[in-house]
Chains A and B, each alone.
Chain A
């Protein structure tokens, strides 16, 4: 049984009488412990898809099953990192993380929660900033705190919506490596749905890449990433297979934009 099973999902927005189909007939599933990236151009409905998985939006039609059970709303089995910075500005970095822990992991005292929070802030390299408020942190640091919060909540599923979208290129690489290291080091891998529009990021991080067409968004390609884990960035980037795979993926990406619905039989296509 897959961890997340999305069946014939459609979302239609209504705005002042106008209907706009953001997602149409999306179906795919994610296995337990799998890291799946969803990639597509801006406006193709990636955030919409994630808001359904988060339980913030009810789909117009279709179902989402988590562990075989229909999803009904927000739940503490899913940790979320939003596209925009989403820390509570009146809580310090450790206050934010501790608040997340309080929601999902019962039976800890306030002091123990702060200790766990500090532990996770150390993992994301923010020990010295733990008493600072989000307004005193850079965008990249805030996103690290959000990641620490999501990880510290110790949920089975992690939903991430372009978490590094607003971070500069150098910090983006650092954060990708951090996320991958933290994910790989967990005894039991979390199931991750990771939204991005960056092909390199998708390949580096994920087991599978799901491509979306534009308007209305739907799954156009579902591709396994063949590189073994644990992955190391420098080695991966320099391997000849990587260049091949990347160029194939890029071609596919731009092809799907051009001619929707045509099936290419490629070695990477399942």
Chain B
């Protein structure tokens, strides 16, 4: 690849635009705000240049370039609409630099909230996983139990788990326990249903191969049925993880004293919308990171496909 192919990209042009619009005088006076916007853009740009310089083929550059272009466009519109032309109400829509600055100053305060949220999801989700997968494998293998369980899990799985929150509050001693319970319930049914359908759709030739090899009952479950239904199980795990985060943030907004959802709810109640936006951004970043790791794990576990 020549230099032109490697670096002649719309994304870089947009980066320059982000820098240049700061020559337009501010409508609102926020002395150091633009430094944070520029700082953010420069970090993105350095990353992008590094990726482009290291890319072996043009197609690997597409996704990073598109993401950067999206971020720059957002920054341009956001900056123009706020600090430059004051098109939006400043209290509800703070300029990007103000948000970035708040994000950086709030990191020490945010980390415990993130930790608290991840601990809740981790507990509820892990509990669902270690119960739903073995149960699904066993129910899926037992033909009669399996078909009944399919209907039951369809029925219970259709109930939005948010409705358990009030009952959970009456039932359980602490709000953290309630959160773990609803996260558990929310992820349990999709994982169970996916595991059972995974077992149900195992190809006959795989089962026959295991039978002629006289593989024992328990070993068949662990070494044949489990890996054979793993692709489906991962689909269910992904769904479970998605609803876990929905439930987590809902629960935290209803009654928690810590967590990312609480941070957002608390500051919007106080009318601090800069921090509300910071909270929303942080939730987005954390969930994206979790799913990034989840996808890596899935890719590794299913590398034989």
**Which residues of A line the B interface, CB within 8 A?**
54-56, 74-76, 78, 80, 82, 84-92, 99-100, 103, 133-135
Contact = CB atoms under 8 A, between A and B. Distances in A.
A88 B208 contact: no
Given A82-B205, A90-B227, A90-B228, A54 B304 contact: no
Contacts of B174: none
Nearest to A136: B304
Contacts of B208: 54, 56, 82, 86
A17 to B, nearest CB: 20
Contacts of A103: 213-215
B151 to A, nearest CB: 23
Given A88-B227, A103-B214, A82 B304 contact: no
Interface residues of B, number: 17
A84 B209 CA distance: 11
Q: Which 3 A-B pairs have the closest CB atoms?
A: A133-B304, A90-B227, A86-B209
Given A82-B209, A86-B206, A88-B209, A74 B214 contact: yes
Given A88-B227, A89-B304, A90-B228, A78 B212 contact: yes
A250 B224 CA distance: 43
5 contacts: A54-B208, A74-B214, A78-B212, A84-B205, A133-B304
Given A54-B208, A86-B209, 13 more contacts: A55-B211, A74-B214, A76-B213, A80-B209, A82-B208, A85-B205, A86-B205, A88-B209, A89-B305, A90-B304, A91-B304, A100-B213, A135-B305
Most buried by A among B205, B209, B224: B209
Nearest to A76: B214
A54 B210 CA distance: 12
B230 interface: yes
Contact of B230 (A74, A85, A90, A134): A90
A74 B212 CA distance: 5
Interface in B183-232: 205-206, 208-209, 211-215, 223-224, 227-228, 230
B304 A99 contact: no
Contact of A80 (B212, B227, B230): B212
- The prevalent SS among residues of B at the interface is helix
A88 B212 contact: no
A54 B212 contact: yes
Contacts of A91: 304
A88 B205 CA distance: 10
B305 A99 contact: no
Interface string B266-305: 0000000000000000000000000000000000000111
B215 A88 contact: no
B226 to A, nearest CB: 9
A195 to B, nearest CB: 15
B207 to A, nearest CB: 9
Contacts of A75: 214
Could you say which of A75, A84, A88, A99 has the most chain B C-beta atoms within 10 Å of its C-beta? A88
Contact of B304 (A55, A84, A85, A135): A135
A47 B228 CA distance: 24
B302 to A, nearest CB: 8
A82 to B, nearest CB: 6
B142 to A, nearest CB: 20
A89 B228 CA distance: 8
Interface string B125-164: 0000000000000000000000000000000000000000
Contact of A56 (B206, B212, B215, B230): B212
B209 to A, nearest CB: 4
A87 B208 CA distance: 11
A100 B213 CA distance: 7
A86 B223 CA distance: 15
A74 B213 CA distance: 8
A87 B203 CA distance: 12
Contacts of A100: 213
A177 to B, nearest CB: 26
Given A89-B304, A135-B305, A55 B205 contact: no
A15 to B, nearest CB: 15
Interface centre among A75, A85, A92, A99, by most chain B C-beta atoms within 10 angstroms, is A99
Contacts of A76: 213-214
Contacts of A56: 208, 211-212
A78 B215 CA distance: 14
Given A89-B305, A90-B227, A55 B212 contact: yes
A91 B214 CA distance: 17
Nearest to B226: A90
A76 B215 CA distance: 10
B64 to A, nearest CB: 29
Contacts of A135: 304-305
Contacts of B214: 74-76, 103
Which of A55, A90, A103 gathers most chain B CB within 10 Å?
A90
B206 A99 contact: no
A223 B215 CA distance: 37
A24 to B, nearest CB: 24
Contacts of A87: 209
A85 B204 CA distance: 11
